[in-house]
Structure 1
Amino acid sequence: MRGGLFIYNLLYGVSLPALLTVAKFTSKNRGGFSVKRRFFSFPSESQLKERDIWIHCASIGEVNSARPLIEKLKDRLIVTTFTDYGADRALELFPEIPVYVIPPDMKPFTDRFVKSLGVKKLLVYETEIWPSLLTSAIEQRVEVYFISGKITESNFSLYKRFFPVFKDIFKSSVFLARSDEDAERAKKLGFKEVKTVGDLKFDSVTEPKPVDVTIGDRFPIIVWGSTHEGEEELAGKVHTKLKEKFPKILTIVVPRHVGRAESLRSILPGKAVLRTELKSVPSNTDFYIVDTIGELPSFYALGDVAVVGGTFNEKVGGHNLLEPMVSAVPVVVGPHYSHFQDVVSKVKECIIFSTCESVFDKISLLLKNDELRYRIGICSKRVLEEERGVTERILKEVFT
């Protein structure tokens, strides 16, 4: 083990008890955290027969985005995630595919894990760089590809700062970038091969299935999707002001982490009903809180306006604004979308930018102007169609 990786493993090992404790605590509202799953849920040879491709996704959002590629390779594929709720989502979507949570990132664990998989190729979605895991894969002659790869400015600085840890990984891996900017950073870091293929998120969004819910004669329906702390309070304030002009308004709130759903009752200023309580929304309901997983795109499709969560919380950096766009629903985005900067740059003419202070005015403008709502929706559909085809470009690079 080289010096940089040895020091990384040493520090990681010393910190591991604390890391596991913190992860256990912080994951309570996000699907939980199983230590046993990380140490003992290794696959057997019989489970992985004829499966030679491995795709790794960080969590639930990445699993959703990688869905079209997973579907293409499902007969040959093993899926891993970093989070338990990401693994649970993958199992829900692809019950026929073996799904595992990766072990702690120490060489003794990762060597054993990679050996148990016995794959030929590893596709890392975006840029989930776990030094020991990737080193184990490379040492065991697994071809490593970063697909729809992204390298933010902050990550670029981090990789340069700790270059001795990452150098051997970069020079042994192929980087298939989501944008030319990401590709340029990858070249500077010394990846073996770099090519721009586009953002897989554009392929991942499809027309959602109708959702089993009865709403009645309500207008407008405002959907706040993937919300985080502070954003539900903002949704409540906007709802109260809009209700003065639109007495039949319904606000649908879909928290990013369903474990927070029950607590939102005390935050939202009106009658709130949980999705798991009722599938028929009473006429006097102000807020319908969706405490289920996987239904967000279907609820976006019901909206007159969609507000993308994580974009009004600077600690988050945004969530997938393409999910409402595929249903031609006009989208309002807050000022914090660093994780979707490249997507935003491609669809900026089709979304409404806002701040916390202006979000009421922006939504009001859309509700008062039917032609504007329609025009933005059509714009969204057009851009989505133009950007598709990333899955096929990735498959071409990996398998030819």
Structure 2
Amino acid sequence: MAYSTKKGLLLYNAYRTITYTLSPLIRLHLRWRIFQGLDHRSRWPERLGRPSVPRRPGPLVWFHAVSLGEGMSAVPVIRECVRKMPNVNVLMTITTMSAFEVLRNWLPSEIIFQFSPLDTPGSIDSFLHYWKPKAIVLMESELWPNLIMHASKNGITLALLNARMSEKSFEIWSRPVLLPLISLMLSKFSLIAPLSTEQGIRFQLLQAPPGIISFSGDLKYVIEDFGVNGRGRKSIDDLRSQLTHKQVWMASSIHRGEQEIILGVHTTLMQLLPNIVTIIAPRHPQHGREIAKKLEKEGHNVILRSQHKKLKPDTNIYVVDTLGELRHLYMLTPIAVIGGSFLPRSTGHNISEAASAGCAVLTGSHIGHFSHMVLEMQRLSPLSILQVSGKIELEKTLIQLFTNATLLEAHRIAAKEAFSRLSSDIVTNVLFIYWKPTTNLTINSIQFVELSSSHQFNLKM
């Protein structure tokens, strides 16, 4: 073990040297991302660890999520943190612009919201020196060597919630040359809460200390309803009334390359069901605008969500190019096809939101780390999730559902019931944060508690 730790330290020092040496190039890459609209034009210094708001006095807990899905999974824990620890500052960082645009409007006002620092020595040092967190809660797969090692060196408690590692990442980290580094990094955590048993086994095989692994369930089952503003609510209601006499299905979280499959299926359905309306919600809004532009050139009558136009009698494709409305749009359709699952090397997307809305849920065969969610729901009810192999099977399944109302209703009920059973346990078992006051009402410790196993770690303030 001592030899492995020594080798892990040598590998980390090599990584630190490389990232320090390449810092100028990484900054140039950041500038390029800003030019491409992938990073914020005015808040980019935050990516270098430079704050844009003052640090409030008092202890601080830092939550970090890379993108929108992970960020939404963190929100229930953050809200519990704010409720249970009103005297503790909470900082949340994200990486992607999509997460920034949605979450900044829905996080509690008292949450400090920043873009995450790049994993270079200078950025991490600057960030930790300024914010001085007492604990860092990382979401899912954010395992960055400089962040983890610098935090540990500074005595900062580390937790990894909804922990997951893709099959590809697991294969890479399992290689003899890299295993000592990941083993060293995982040893710095006080708590790792995998989102499934399979993921827990992967972390154990990567030599995470067994005593820090605690199972609580997938936080994606308890993602909150962020709601919509008054204008958005009226727009949803108007769209619902326009779709009342239509046969509707929705393809959500579509990735580039999948639109050809969805549009091909739409063409087939049009021949059999002239009253069909296909809602396409790409993963990224810009992709939606590109799809709409291409379809318009081909003579299709397409409506873009951001334009808030009414459907015409011959409108049969509705393209969503907005963020943060997916859960509400699921309420408008009896059938949801979840993208990011139809092309090789895809990893799937969250199916629970569609199931909670009472949709008949379909997904492709490439579902990556969401396979545990599919298996859990299918174990409760085989009708809850339908997996199809590709375009032909998707067409066949959709035709069956649209032409058999009894079958469609059975799938919708099964999906909603399976979701309800799985999510109800997580409300009581999920990791939450609470504070333990001393007799003089000052904060003495923060404890992360997992009810089902009574696993906890203390953070002395």
In structure 2, C-alpha distance between the alignment counterparts of 1:49 and 1:365, rounded to whole Å: 61
Show the counterpart of 2:5.
Answer: none
Cα 1:227/1:21, change in 2 over 3 Å: farther
Instruction: Give the structure 1 partner of residue 386 of structure 2.
Output: 352
Asked if structure 1 preserves the Cα contact closer than 8 Å seen for 2:106 and 2:226, the reply is no
Aligned to 1:36: 45
CA contact (8 A) 1:43 1:116 kept: no
Q: Residues 22 and 66 from structure 1, CA distance in 2 versus in 1: closer, same or farther, beyond 3 angstroms?
A: same
Unpaired runs of at least 5, structure 1: none
C-alpha contact (below 8 Å) 1:334/1:356 kept by paired residues: no
- The residue aligned with 2:3 is none
Task: Determine whether 1:167 maps to 2:183.
Answer: yes
Higher CA-based Rg: 2
State the Cα distance separating 1:84 from its structure 2 match: 3.1
CA distance in 1, matches of 2:243, 2:409: 22
User: Which residue in 2 is equivalent to 1:296?
Assistant: 326
Match of 1:196 among 206, 215, 221: 215
Residues 213, 17 of structure 1: alpha-carbon distance in 2 compared, 3 angstrom cutoff: farther
Deviations 1:106-159 (A, max 9, x none): 223212212222222211111210110111111111111111111333222222
SS in 2 for 1:66: helix
- Provide the TM-score with structure 1 as the length reference: 0.91
Aligned mates of 1:86, 1:220 — CA distance in 2: 32
2:49/2:123 contact within 8 Å kept: no
Q: Which structure 2 residues correspond to residues 204-353 of structure 1 after superposition, within 5 A?
A: 204=223, 206=225, 211-214=236-239, 215-268=242-295, 270-348=300-378, 349=382, 350-353=384-387
Structure 2 stretches of 5 or more lacking a match?
A: 1-7, 433-448, 451-455
Separation in structure 1 between the aligned mates of residue 36 and residue 274 of structure 2, nearest angstrom: 33
Give 1:88 deviation, angstroms: 3.1
State the shift of 1:267 in Å.
3.8
Q: Say if 2:88 is the partner of 1:81.
A: no
Percent identical residues:
23
Q: Which moved more, 1:153-162 or 1:127-136?
A: 153-162
Q: Is the 8 A contact 1:234 1:356 kept in 2?
A: yes
Map of 1:105 onto structure 2? 119
Q: Is 1:128 aligned to residue 128 of structure 2?
A: no
- Deviation for aligned residue 1:265: 2.1
The answer as to whether partners of 2:119 and 2:147 remain within 8 angstroms in 1 is yes
Q: Match of 2:214, as an amino acid? A: K
CA change 1:219–1:17 in 2 (3 A) is farther
Moved more, 258-267 or 363-372: 258-267
Deviates more, 1:283-292 or 1:327-336: 283-292
Whichever residue aligns with residue 219 of structure 1, its letter is K
Q: Give the Cα separation in 2 of the matches to 1:3 and 1:186.
A: 22
Counterpart position of 1:372:
407
**What is the identity, as a one-letter code, of the residue corresponding to 1:182?**
Q
Q: Which amino acid letter does the alignment assign opposite residue 197 of structure 2?
A: D
Asked if the contact 2:164/2:369 (under 8 Å) is kept, the reply is no
Please give the alpha-carbon distance, in whole angstroms, between the structure 1 residues aligned to 2:49 and 2:164: 31
Q: 1:201 to 1:336 in 2, by over 3 A?
A: same
1:91 matched residue in structure 2: 104
Against the structure 1 CA distance between its residues 265 and 88, is the aligned structure 2 distance closer, same or farther, given a 3 Å change threshold? closer
Q: RMSD in angstroms over aligned alpha carbons? A: 2.6
- Matching of residue 385 in structure 1 with residue 394 in structure 2: no
Pairwise CA distance, 1:51 = 5.1
- Could you tell me whether the CA contact under 8 Å between 2:183 and 2:207 is conserved in 1? yes
SS of the residue corresponding to residue 358 of structure 1 reads helix
Q: Deviations over 1:195-224 (max 9, x none)?
A: 211111111155966524332444211111
Q: Where in structure 2 are the equivalents of 1:52-67 lying within 5 Å? A: 52-67=60-75
What corresponds to 1:184 in structure 2? 201
- TM-score, with structure 2 as normaliser: 0.79
Indicate if the aligned counterparts of 1:57 and 1:128 stay in contact, CA closer than 8 A: yes
- For 1:223, what is the secondary structure of its paired residue? strand
Counterpart in the other structure of 1:394: 431
Shift of residue 89 of structure 1?
2.5
Residue by residue over 1:285-337, the C-alpha shift from the partner in whole angstroms, topping out at 9 and shown as x without a partner, is 12111111101111111012111111113243111111111111101101111
